Amino acid sequence: MKVSVTAVTVWGKIAPSHSITAIMITDDQQTIVTGSLEGQICLWDLSSELKISSKEILFGHTASVTCLAKARE
């Protein structure tokens, strides 16, 4: 059974910077993944109407994310 959990990120009045240094789109073309100079990875939903909306932001890298790659199953 697969459970879906909505991610919630809380920060102050200003969202963290995200200077994109790497970009990748998934095979199903529904998710864009970006890496940043600040060490974050962001996931973005891409609708069939080409609207982009933020999905998740992942923190934890101590250096810039300059490359993204898909993992094999």
What pLDDT digit, counting tens, does each position of 27-54 carry? 999 999 999 998 989 999 988 888 888 8
pLDDT band at 17 (very low <50, low <70, confident <90, very high): confident
d(CA 50, CA 42): 17
- pLDDT at residue 49, as a whole number: 86
Q: Are strands 52-58 and 41-46 parallel, antiparallel or unpaired?
A: antiparallel
Q: Is the dihedral of CA 57, 60, 64, 67 positive or negative?
A: negative
Neighbours of 60 (CB within 10 A): 7
Helix (H, G, I), strand (E, B) or coil at 18: coil
Given this model, what pLDDT does residue 4 score?
62
Indicate if the pLDDT at residue 2 is higher than 70. Answer: no
Q: Is the pTM of this model over 0.85?
A: no
Instruction: Measure Cα distances from 10 to 7, 13, 34, 50 in Å.
Output: 10, 10, 20, 26
pLDDT at position 16, please?
67
